[in-house]
Amino acid sequence: MEERYVPKEVEAKWQEYWESNRSFKVTEDPGKQKYYLLEMFPYPSGRIHMGHVRNYSIGDVVARYKRMQGLNVLHPMGWDAFGMPAENAAIQNKSHPAKWTYENISYMRNQLKRMGFSYDWDRELATCDLSYYRWEQLVFLQMYRKGIAYKKSSYVNWCPKCETVLANEQVEDGCCWRCDNEVKQKELEQWFFRITDYAEELLDWTNRMPGWPERVLTMQRNWIGKSYGCEIDFPLENGNGSIKVFTTRQDTLFGATFMSLAPEHPQALALTTADRLPEVQAFIEKVQKTEKAKRTADDLEKEGVFTGSYCLNPVTGRKMPVYLANFVLTDYGTGAVMAVPTHDQRDFEFARKYDLPLQVVIQPEGEVLDPTTMTEAFVAEGIMTNSGQFDGLPSNQAKQLIADFLEKQGIGKKTVNFRLRDWGISRQRYWGNPIPIIYCDTCGVVPVPEKDLPVVLPMDVAFTGEGGNPLAKVEEFFNVSCPTCGGQARRETDTMDTFVESSWYFLRYCSPDVETSPLDRQRAEYWMSVDQYIGGIEHAVLHLLYARFFTKVMRDLGYVAIDEPFVNLLTQGMVIKDGAKMSKSKGNVVDPNALIERYGADTARLFSLFAAPPEKDLDWSDQGVDGSYRFLNRVWKFVRECLPLVEGVEAFAGGPITEEGKTLRRVVHKTIRKVTDDVGERFHFNTAIAAIMELVNSLYGFEQKNLRENAPVLREALESVVLMLAPFVPHFSEELWEKLGHAGGIDRRGWPGFDPAAAVEEELLVVVQVNGKLRGRVIVSASATEDDVRKAALADDKVSSFVAGKELKKVIYVPGKLLNIVAA
Ligand code: ANZ
Ligand code: ZN
């Protein structure tokens, strides 16, 4: 009779079953309600880690639950397969990025299959597949035609030794993360996507996405960074034109005492007087070496240099020296700042350092600031002073009035500014999607004609790690004839940022097999938008913003009708062990393989779902894993033991029932209600699992005799437990479902229905006596304990008035009937 739970056998059996039955394959079915569930696809780094196990276990619960609810569930998986690690590995192992990548993919695919995740593997894609990236090239050309893709020169972090651009994250203490050489700022022609054209729409929609965590929306709003302010012209003292600034604080205009320009400002050198030139040039060079991220840091040491020129404050006529300053950025606003040292902290530090004048124009209420003794800028709102006709007004009111005044006087105008910059997508790397552009000396920039697509990444390339982009050394690749004039031309050797691929993979999943277009419009229309997206919070800005932008571009190119790609977003927490995020460098990783070997995938899934709610960090615990395993064994044993009692018996469907049977049904249906609510509405998987555990405990509490007498109810209970566990531990549940006499494919049976009548607590009337005299009656639920009844009795006004001020000596309870309180 005793048959042990052997996860390895059970899991292999059902994985084989799902695979051969294509259990999770879906097609577009207009007659069925769709549900598109997506987890962020992984980078094929080699093997899956616990973060993946967690992310994909969460997703799989939702997928399986929705399937059991009868929805047509699209649950795809693929690989974010281009990128630098493959190239570095190739250099290290003297191998090829493609080989490394595809080997990793095949290993990790196996790992995911061993976890029992219910993907439609027929839709699998890797972004480095020609069948994927070729369509991205087409979209690039269409974006180029609309002016959304364009080329401009900009400053980048450049490692002269590796001859490559580095992202800010790849610059460590001003040095290249790989070779430790000093990083330079270099002006380079780069390709950009005009995401700023969509800034307003991207921002606007953050107020229309109730299915996203507020935290992520706030991060996106801040990243887009819309500010309302004014552009104001400051005439040059010599009468030769003016300097335009952008300010959000026009209320401080009367306090502007000097001017700060970005060192790269186009007027910088023209404004520099001959005697100041050597110093100014040295300063510009120095700043340009500083990486971008440092220049915006709060703790940046403010530095600058005087140009020798002056401009005039347009409202006070004050002569303002023009400086170049390291904290002024060239690509924000106009690249020029009217400096108000009394009310801006950076200007304050700068003024103290270079001994520049201070003028207070806003006073805190009931206080008088003295510029000679101020130790920091006063940045809050207050009352206007030293500001002509605006004196005495609250500064926030003056802000409006001064803006109107400037417009009327023709000195300035109201504007909005965005922090968001266009997305630079050029990478000087091999393992990426080639940008389909040709340069011709005669014709200039020539897009690759669509009929010549795709531009195939050549495979015969040497990876030495020396001398920059390997593609730029493959003559057969870059030597081409100009598509327009036929003359000798050169192919672009930059490849696209890999964030481009992850910006539309969810669209490709809708019709991954179309060979004539990036996607099939009708099929995409059926599936999109993604109903639930699940991934890490680290993607709150970049990936999630790029994907939103790209979707809107695809819409404007006529590919899809939707405005936003992801209706609901869940950002799961990290996996923590010994107080730190699991990572190789910390040496605290738990290898999913070892876990599967020892306990099976179902235990790994159950633990990662039970140990914490999805959005919270999950603290790893070996005892917790063990506990999950023991629970499964307990369920296994109980079902096995009950099998003889329910054999040939149908699940309860009404009819006569004993009191014990009613109680049993009540526990079952209360649990179904809770689990349905926790899983379906709130994704509180941990409390759902806890409720199932409690139910199993209650079942163990029933006497054999009562179970035997209520076999149909017992069967209903057993099946409910197994069905409710199916999204969490699918192999285990399929196996028990089969043992209970059903065919495989448990999700076809559907999610257990909840019978409200069965879950209702019966209520009892309990008589309350104080010192033997009848003093009240209370209504309590049938399952109320003595403690519950006592609390209810003491909460009753009448009863409490008789015991007030007395000491409770004793309480006697006749269950379900009478409570006698002895008080003196
Ligand atoms: C005068 C002023 C007075 C300012 C004051 C602030 C406080 P946000 O809100 O982020 O848009 N600024 C403008 N262009 C800049 C640039 N290229 N590099 C660095 N700083 C720049 O910030 C707008 C404020 O940032 C502007 O308002 C300007 O300083 C500065 F009491 O103008 B303010
Ligand atoms: Zn040409």
* 657 and 540 both lie in a single domain: no
Q: What is the mean pLDDT of residues 291-313?
A: 88
Nearest CA residue ID for atom 10, ligand 1: 227
Of 245, 337, 376, 417, the one to substitute when testing ligand 1's pocket (max ligand atoms within 8 A of C-beta) is: 337
Query: Cα of 490 to ligand 2 centre, how many Å?
Result: 10
Nearest CA residue ID for atom 8, ligand 1: 227
Task: Mark which of 715, 734, 759 sits at the end of a domain.
Answer: 759
Query: Cα of 399 to ligand 1 centre, how many Å?
Result: 14
Residues with Cβ within 8 Å of residue 440, at least 6 apart in sequence? 446, 482, 484, 485, 487, 489, 490
> What is the pTM (predicted TM-score) of this model?
0.87
Nearest CA residue ID for atom 26, ligand 1: 247
Query: Cα of 325 to ligand 1 centre, how many Å?
Result: 13
| Domain presence at residue 328 | yes
pLDDT tens per residue across span 87-123: 888 888 888 999 999 999 999 999 999 999 999 999 9
The conformation of residue 651, written as its DSSP 8-state character, comes to P
| Domain presence at residue 200 | no
pLDDT tens per residue across span 126-143: 999 999 999 999 999 999
Q: What is the DSSP string of 7-32?
A: HHHHHHHHHHHHHHHTTT-----TTS
Where is pLDDT greater, at 155 or 643?
Answer: 643
Which of 30-39, 362-371, 527-536 has the lowest average pLDDT? 362-371
| 3-state secondary structure (DSSP) of residue 631 | helix
Check residue 785 and give its pLDDT.
85
Which of 30-44, 79-93, 375-389 has the lowest average pLDDT? 79-93
Q: Is 605 within 8 Å of 60 (Cβ atoms)? A: yes
* 270 and 409 both lie in a single domain: yes
Query: Cα of 745 to ligand 2 centre, how many Å?
Result: 61
Q: What is the mean pLDDT of residues 203-223?
A: 97
Query: Cα of 196 to ligand 1 centre, how many Å?
Result: 19
| Domain presence at residue 7 | no
How many domains, the chain? 5
Ligand located closest to 488 CA? 2
Neighbours of 3 (CB within 10 A): 10
Q: How would you write 208-255 as a 3-class SS string?
A: CCCCCCHHHHHHHHHHHCEEEEEEEEEEECCCCCEEEEEECCHHHHHH
* 348 and 407 both lie in a single domain: yes
pLDDT tens per residue across span 712-754: 999 999 999 999 999 999 999 999 999 999 998 998 899 999 9
* 347 and 265 both lie in a single domain: yes
Q: Which residue, among 771, 767, 774, 777, has the nearest Cα to 810 in the 3D structure?
A: 771
Ligand located closest to 222 CA? 1
Of 155, 234, 247, 265, the one to substitute when testing ligand 1's pocket (max ligand atoms within 8 A of C-beta) is: 247
Give the Cα separation of 543 and 223 in Å (integer). Answer: 13
Check residue 84 and give its pLDDT.
87
What region, left, alpha or beta, does residue 230 occupy, with left being phi > 0 and alpha being psi -120 to 50 degrees?
A: beta
Which of 486-500, 652-666, 674-688 has the lowest average pLDDT? 652-666
Check residue 1 and give its pLDDT.
40
Ligand located closest to 443 CA? 2
* 289 and 350 both lie in a single domain: yes
Q: How would you write 795-810 as a 3-class SS string?
A: HCHHHHHHHCCCCEEE
Q: Per-residue confidence at 169, pLDDT binned at 50, 70, 90? A: low
CATH number at residue 797: 3.10.20.590
Ligand located closest to 487 CA? 2
Q: Give the H/E segment covering residue 172.
A: strand 171-172
Where is pLDDT greater, at 704 or 34?
Answer: 34
| Domain presence at residue 411 | yes
Backbone φ and ψ for 815, nearest 5 degrees, come out as -50, 130
Ligand located closest to 486 CA? 2
Nearest CA residue ID for atom 32, ligand 1: 247
C-alpha separations of 712 from 340, 665, 673, 719 in Å: 82, 10, 20, 11
Ligand located closest to 483 CA? 2
Residues with Cβ within 8 Å of residue 167, at least 6 apart in sequence? 157
Q: Is 289 within 8 Å of 184 (Cβ atoms)? A: yes
| Domain presence at residue 686 | yes
* 123 and 152 both lie in a single domain: no
Give the atom of ligand 1 at the shortest distance from the alpha carbon of 343. Answer: 31
Q: Which residue, among 566, 555, 577, 517, has the nearest Cα to 210 in the 3D structure?
A: 566
Which of 172-176, 313-317, 523-527, 604-608 has the lowest average pLDDT? 172-176
CATH number at residue 371: 3.90.740.10
Task: Mark which of 498, 519, 549 sits at the end of a domain.
Answer: 498
Q: What is the mean pLDDT of residues 753-770?
A: 85
Q: Which domain holds residue 547?
A: 32-127+502-572
Query: Cα of 136 to ligand 2 centre, how many Å?
Result: 24
Task: Mark which of 759, 784, 806 sits at the end of a domain.
Answer: 759
The conformation of residue 185, written as its DSSP 8-state character, comes to E
Cα 359 versus chain centre, distance: 45
Of 250, 292, 344, 416, the one to substitute when testing ligand 1's pocket (max ligand atoms within 8 A of C-beta) is: 344
Query: Cα of 156 to ligand 2 centre, how many Å?
Result: 29
Residue with tokens 């050394």: 473
Q: What is the CA angle 297-299-300, rounded to 5?
A: 70
Name the amino acid, one letter, at 17. Y
Where is pLDDT greater, at 688 or 330?
Answer: 688
Give the atom of ligand 1 at the shortest distance from the alpha carbon of 227. Answer: 11
| Domain presence at residue 605 | no
Query: Cα of 446 to ligand 2 centre, how many Å?
Result: 7
* 363 and 485 both lie in a single domain: no
Give the atom of ligand 1 at the shortest distance from the alpha carbon of 340. Answer: 3
Nearest CA residue ID for atom 25, ligand 1: 247
Q: What is the mean pLDDT of residues 307-316?
A: 98
Of 224, 226, 248, the one to substitute when testing ligand 1's pocket (max ligand atoms within 8 A of C-beta) is: 248
Query: Cα of 489 to ligand 2 centre, how many Å?
Result: 7
Give the atom of ligand 1 at the shortest distance from the alpha carbon of 332. Answer: 17
Give the atom of ligand 1 at the shortest distance from the alpha carbon of 327. Answer: 19
Query: Cα of 246 to ligand 1 centre, how many Å?
Result: 7
Beta strands 818-823; 763-770: pairing state: parallel
Residue with tokens 């180029």: 144
Pocket of ligand 1 (CB under 6 A): 227, 246-249, 252, 262, 328-329, 332-333, 335, 337-338, 340, 343-344, 417
* 727 and 809 both lie in a single domain: no
Query: Cα of 149 to ligand 2 centre, how many Å?
Result: 20
Beta strands 34-39; 72-74: pairing state: parallel
pLDDT tens per residue across span 321-344: 999 999 999 889 999 999 999 999
pLDDT over 70 percentage in the chain: 99
Q: What is the mean pLDDT of residues 350-370?
A: 95
Residue with tokens 């057993």: 718
* 776 and 647 both lie in a single domain: no
Nearest CA residue ID for atom 19, ligand 1: 328
Ligand located closest to 484 CA? 2
* 371 and 474 both lie in a single domain: no
* 107 and 156 both lie in a single domain: no
Query: Cα of 368 to ligand 1 centre, how many Å?
Result: 24
User: Residue 339 pairs with which residues in a beta bridge?
Assistant: 258
* 410 and 429 both lie in a single domain: no
| 3-state secondary structure (DSSP) of residue 762 | coil
Q: Is 350 within 8 Å of 325 (Cβ atoms)? A: yes
Q: What is the DSSP string of 449-460?
A: PGGG---PPPS-
Q: What is the mean pLDDT of residues 246-271?
A: 97
Q: Is 64 within 8 Å of 733 (Cβ atoms)? A: no
Class of residue 814 by CB neighbours under 10 A (exposed 0-12, middle 13-18, buried 19+): exposed
Name the amino acid, one letter, at 542. L
Query: Cα of 206 to ligand 1 centre, how many Å?
Result: 25
| Domain presence at residue 201 | no
| Domain presence at residue 14 | no
CATH number at residue 44: 3.40.50.620
